[in-house]
Amino acid sequence: MQIEMKNIYKAFGQNKVLEGVQFSLEAGEVHALMGENGAGKSTLMNILTGLHKHDQGTIEINGKETSFKDSKEAEEAGMAFIRQELNIWPEMTVLENLFIGREMVNAFGVLRNKQMKARANEIFKMLNISLPFDKEAGLCSVGEQQMIEIAKALMTDAEVIIMDEPTAALTDREIEKLFEVMKGLTKKGVSLVYISHRMEEIFAICDRITVMRDGKTVDTKRIKDTTFDEVVQKMVGRELEDRFPHREAHLGEVVLDVKGLTKKGLFEDIHFAVRKGEIVGVAGLMGAGRTEIMRALFGVDQIDSGEITVEGKKVSIRKPTDAVRYGLAFITENRKEEGLILDFSVRENIGLPNLKSFAPSGLVKTEDEKKFAEMMIKRLHVKTSSTETIIGNLSGGNQQKVVIAKWIGTSPKVLIMDEPTRGIDVGAKREIYELMNELTERGIAIIMVSSELPEIVGMSDRILVVHEGKIAGELKKQEVTQEKIMALATGGN
């Protein structure tokens, strides 16, 4: 299928989202769509898949002008959109998920399981994957769930598959597998649109790249003819000297010391120390236990044994309240589920962990809270129209800044950041890195869990590598390379 989108305009009310976008897709290509959050990528793809109607412009499919009434019609024409939030029914089996809404039945409406299994087998074979049909989808890994989604798309004979951040939650092995499947699909003539912030992956798998900025297409190029720097520059519209700001650490004394932290089945004998002003990176594969260690350290989950010392004093952390009291702060990997109250305003979110100081007598001093929120917004460059804006309406990068603002207000001694830049654009990432530098300048210790190796290498003063629930090794800034981390993370040395 060959697609040509010309001069697409789209506005939601007053808000002009797309202003003359050009996008083309060839049969059998992998086409990267890049741009900062809010550049209009999702809207463009929603138009292509019939969810939204464009105001102006034309869409040609195989040279014929087409317009989809709704997403059903687009699906019938061969479009599939695999969103970041996967459409999985966790309590239902793999097979049930594959055929949800389009079950095969006989004349009496009884399910034809044999036929469905046969069809699913066909597709699985084509994708070269194997998954037990009767496994509960919720027990499958995110990578496997993604495969279910891809299989579902193929089941509808999709010729165009759009993937939004497909690798965000995948392990390296799963990513490899996904890329294999993607290559197989293109050989069969399926076109793929690949939306991602991960530059390395785009250069590894894509044929062409289109960069969008502020609702316009900046450029479309063959991957071979462009460079990493050029793409970044086009995305942000300015030169980024570097992805990571210059960092000079001034280490103070040990502020947090962890010894023998153990939770059976998850992690064992974890020991490390963090100094004032230090950024300790925690690397490892997905599922190695990094997040679990941090959750236990913060009292979200209970440890079986271990010793935590804060500023030389042994402490017992049984619940988050304790952790907060001892000066720990936790920026979770999932800001929507664990970081923010989406219906609250920016001010209320920032105020939440600081209620004690804004409401010493129980009465919330809204004015103080507002002033504080305004100060934080300014300091962290949060793009929001006011302190009263509902947080759910901000972009991912700005939401993340609010999560950070929330915790800075508590004047933490140790800031735990789990995947601090996941799903946010290059410009906002850089701002968050700068903020981390500023915080450590002021003596705050940062523990940063991240799956992005460049980030770990670029920002950490010291790196702990977790493998199967144990600390597999520690690397100093001077000696670290991505290869060394990977070797430790995969069980080598």
Residues that bind another protein (CB under 8 A): 298, 300, 319-321, 323-325, 330, 332, 337-345, 347-348, 351-353, 355-356, 358-359, 362-364, 366, 388, 390, 392, 406, 410
Smallest gap from residue 469 Cβ to another protein (A): 22
Smallest gap from residue 328 Cβ to another protein (A): 10
Smallest gap from residue 356 Cβ to another protein (A): 8
Smallest gap from residue 404 Cβ to another protein (A): 13
Select from 153, 171, 186 the least CA-distant residue to 74: 153
Smallest gap from residue 302 Cβ to another protein (A): 13
Smallest gap from residue 486 Cβ to another protein (A): 30
Smallest gap from residue 44 Cβ to another protein (A): 25
Nearer to another protein, 319 or 383 (CB): 319
What tokens appear for 108 in the block? 């009496």
Nearer to another protein, 264 or 319 (CB): 319
Residues forming beta bridges with residue 416, ordered by sequence position = 330, 447
**Angle between the N-to-C axes of helices 142-155 and 113-127, in degrees from 0 to 180, rounded to the nearest 10:** 110
Nearer to another protein, 321 or 478 (CB): 321
Q: What are phi and psi of 109, to 5 degrees?
A: 80, 10
3-class secondary-structure state, position 417: strand
**Could you tell me how far CA 381 lies from the centroid of its own chain?**
21
Nearer to another protein, 245 or 320 (CB): 320
Amino acid found at 247: R
Residues forming beta bridges with residue 151, ordered by sequence position = none
Nearer to another protein, 101 or 362 (CB): 362
Smallest gap from residue 348 Cβ to another protein (A): 6
Nearer to another protein, 342 or 486 (CB): 342
Nearer to another protein, 314 or 318 (CB): 318
Q: Is 233 exposed, middle or buried (0-12, 13-18, 19+ CB in 10 A)?
A: middle
**What H or E segment, with its residue span, contains residue 161?**
strand 160-164
Nearer to another protein, 394 or 471 (CB): 394
Select from 463, 411, 408, 401 the least CA-distant residue to 433: 401
Smallest gap from residue 298 Cβ to another protein (A): 7
**What H or E segment, with its residue span, contains residue 485?**
helix 482-489
β-strands 414-418, 64-66: how paired?
A: unpaired
Locus of tokens 């102006």: 56
Nearer to another protein, 190 or 446 (CB): 446
Angle CA(105)–CA(111)–CA(112) in degrees, nearest 5? 75
β-strands 279-284, 445-449: how paired?
A: parallel
**What whole-number distance in Å separates Cα of residue 432 and Cα of residue 399?**
12
Smallest gap from residue 401 Cβ to another protein (A): 16
What tokens appear for 194 in the block? 């690949």
**What whole-number distance in Å separates Cα of residue 310 and Cα of residue 26?**
58
Nearer to another protein, 130 or 361 (CB): 361
**What whole-number distance in Å separates Cα of residue 354 and Cα of residue 171?**
36
Select from 147, 469, 426, 173 the least CA-distant residue to 304: 469
